[in-house]
Amino acid sequence: MKKIAPDWLKKAVFYEIYPSSFFDSNGDGIGDLPGIIAKLDYLVDLGVNAVWLNPCFASTFADGGYDISDFRQVAPRYGTNDDLLKLFAEAKKRDIRICLDMVAGHTSTEHAWFKASARPEKNEYSNYYIWNNSWLESTGGLQMISGMAERDGSFMVNYFSVQPALNYGFANPDPAFPWQLPVDHPDVLKVREELKNNMRFWLDLGASGFRCDLAPSLIKKDPGKVATMALWREIREMFDAEYPEAVLIAEWAYAPQALKAGFHCDFLLHCGTPGYTTLFRNEPERDLWRGIDKSAFYEKDGNDYTVKNFHSYFDAAGLGDAEFFFKTYLDHYERTREDGFISIPTGDHDMTRISDFRSEQDLACVFAFILTMPGVPFIYYGDEIGMKNIPGLVSKEGGYTRTQARTPMQWDGSENKGFSTAPAEKLYLPVDKRPGAPDLAEQQGRPDSLWHKVQELLKIRQTLPALQADGGLKLLLADYPLVYLRSKGEETFVIVIQPAAREWRCEVELPFAAAELSPVLAGNINAGIADGKMCFSGGGTQYGIWQIKR
């Protein structure tokens, strides 16, 4: 039987670092790799054991580093390749795995492959990208750019106009457009080998895996993603044969495809942003915390935005619908349990931060959920202290509205919040100086802070295998509160989360005749057993974990 994942992944909790904004070690205003190395002990203290690093490679930075000009070279502003190797080594000493970001689908127009491909004379890179045959030819319905090269043709892009799509071929090439090459054309198979070799390059040097950017997009005109899934399965075979301890993490946002395609994890990206492809295929009303009921809208008032008609489940108002979420989640979970893990992130560099409209206690409930669910959780830097969006910033390096969630980590209360010694106007992005902006030092000094609660939850997850990636899940109640079981072997735990700020009481069936509920973390919730049922009650915005003992 195939092994679902390397053992370390089952215990992994990831921390996503956007390198420009984490910690600046040399005072130039931009975060860097030595800065991350300097903060590794912080990650140990917090209790995470894996890092996803956004792209740190040579780039034109028109899309925050997702426009790569050399896959094998660290961007000078972040340091050198040696710094990255040092990060691998220092992280390893602390039992932390470092996963990189593999932008498989496109490069920067400054990449040497693209420059060669854009040449008018035919050469070995001509077919590395998707070009039609004449600058005047119709585009075949694809997003094509013309007028930027001497080559007589237009090239396809995946995202911004400086991100030409690498050519992995077309599952169903249109005979009217002979430049649409089939997936087994020798030229496009060469691109596939390049992808594998770029992965081998960093895996050989100590990376523990990759988050794979826009993973479902590689093969064009591929309805049902059949050909794209076969491509990734081939890469998984390479991992199993050559790098069995390394992991593949998809930005696919549809586990039933991604995990069957060989990924070890796939993100549940239910970010609720209208127009964004989510786990729920643009059904943001199923979102638990960002999203928004169908009637929600943003209202702009000067530089501030307010969301109106916002009813996500984790709001203190208690007007959301967890059942709706679980219907889809459990369907995906049941269909993929034997294949891999669903990753629930607190946020990422593309979404608004989770903290909008929430108190620390509201956020603690969100963390209690994410850190007790199956799969592999991801914490976006700064979410552990409830860092806030800074709306209204001018777009930085292609961030647009995403810029608001990419501001520097708030380490302490000093000038620049401890991020950098550069003058404030030189910082990559401004730090949050608004009253009430959280900082780590303050929260570490306050025992009831969000940071301490996150740390406590992480410790509990690390010590209880039932709560980890492959522990069983059984939903008992998807209402206010939310009640579910996690189990492994003989051990069963019940988790109760009440995000609504109101008094409550509930009764749920016991999974087996039990003698007692033994608290792991009881908070202010009363728990007991009566008439063969578990009874819980308490005030609002609470969570707790109990072991059910026979």
Q: How far is the CB of 38 from Ca ion (least distance, A)?
A: 11
DSSP, res 58? E
Q: Is residue 156 within the footprint of ligand GLC (CB under 6 A)? A: no
Q: How many residues bind ligand GLC (CB under 6 A)?
A: 10
359 binds Ca ion (CB under 5 A): no
Tokens representing residue 287 in the block:
């979102």
Binding Ca ion (rule: CB under 5 A), the pick from 8, 11, 26, 321 is: 26
3-state secondary structure (DSSP) of residue 339: coil
Tell me the residue number closest to ligand GLC, measured at CB.
66
Residue number, 291 or 399, with CB nearest to ligand GLC: 399
d(CA 245, CA 222): 30
Judged by CB under 6 A, the stretch of 62-70, 187-195, 324-332, 414-422 that binds ligand GLC is 62-70
Q: Could you give phi then psi for residue 478, rounded to 5 degrees? A: -115, 70
From the list 23, 125, 159, 179, which residue makes contact with ligand GLC (rule: CB under 6 A)?
159
Q: Which is nearer to Ca ion, 242 or 415 (CB)?
A: 415
Strands 533-538 and 504-509, how do they pair? antiparallel
Please, which residue, 213 or 339, has the CB nearer to ligand GLC?
213
Which has the closest alpha carbon to 49: 7, 112, 111, 109? Answer: 7
| Residue 331 dihedral angles phi and psi, to the nearest 5° | -60, -50
Q: Is position 66 an interface residue for ligand GLC (rule: CB under 6 A)? A: yes
Min dist CB 293 to Ca ion, Å, is 42
Judged by CB under 6 A, the residue of 293, 350, 356, 456 near ligand GLC is: 350
Judged by beta carbon distances under 5 to 8 A according to partner kind, the member of Ca ion, ligand GLC, none in contact with residue 32 is: Ca ion
> What does each C-alpha distance from 163 to 114, 149, 363, 398 come to in angstroms?
10, 14, 36, 12
Q: Which is nearer to Ca ion, 230 or 422 (CB)?
A: 422
Query: Taking the complex as a whole, how short is the minimal distance between the CB of residue 173 and ligand GLC, in angstroms?
Result: 24
32 binds Ca ion (CB under 5 A): yes
Q: Are 117 and 125 in contact (CB under 8 A)?
A: yes
According to the binding rule CB under 5 A, does residue 24 interact with Ca ion?
yes
Q: Which does 28 bind (CB under 5 to 8 A by kind): ligand GLC, Ca ion, none?
A: Ca ion
Indicate the residue type of 285. Answer: E
* Residue 127 C-beta: closest distance to ligand GLC, Å: 22
* Residue listed under structure tokens 């420009």: 20
Binding mask 266-305 for ligand GLC (x = CB under 6 A): ----------------------------------------
Query: 159 near 68, Cβ under 8 Å?
Result: no
Q: Which string of DSSP letters, residue by residue, matches 8-21? A: HHHT--EEEE-GGG
Q: Which is nearer to ligand GLC, 63 or 362 (CB)?
A: 63
To the nearest whole angstrom, how small is the minimum distance from the Cβ of residue 27 to Ca ion? 7
Told to check if 30 binds Ca ion by CB under 5 A, we report: yes
The yes or no reply on residue 63 touching ligand GLC (CB under 6 A) is yes
Q: Restricting to residues 197-236, which ones interact with ligand GLC according to CB under 6 A?
A: 213-214
DSSP letters of 139-156?
-TTS-EE-SSSSSSS-EE
Give, to the nearest 10 degrees, the angle between helix 186-205 and helix 81-93: 60
Binds ligand GLC (CB under 6 A): choice among 103, 354, 363, 364:
103
Distances (CA, A) of 212 to 260, 278, 383, 449: 15, 16, 22, 34
Q: How far is residue 231's CA from residue 262's CA, in Å, rounded to a whole number?
A: 9
Identify the CA nearest to 77 among candidates 423, 397, 440, 394. Answer: 397
Which of the listed partners (Ca ion, ligand GLC, none) does 408 bind, with a CB threshold of 5 to 8 Å by partner kind?
none
Cβ distance to ligand GLC smaller for residue 73 or 401: 401
Applying the rule CB under 6 A, the residues between 477 and 516 that interact with ligand GLC are: none
**Cβ proximity of 550 and 510 under 8 Å:** no
Of Ca ion, ligand GLC, none, which one does residue 214 interact with (CB within 5 to 8 Å by kind)?
ligand GLC
Residue 26 touches which of ligand GLC, Ca ion, none (CB < 5 to 8 A by kind)? Ca ion
CB of 33 or CB of 214, closer to ligand GLC: 214
Burial class (CB in 10 A: 0-12, 13-18, 19+), 462: middle
Give every CB contact of residue 331 below 8 A, 6+ residues apart in sequence.
Answer: none
Residue closer to ligand GLC by CB (options 67, 470) is 67
28 binds Ca ion (CB under 5 A): yes
Footprint of Ca ion on this chain (CB under 5 A)?
24, 26, 28, 30, 32
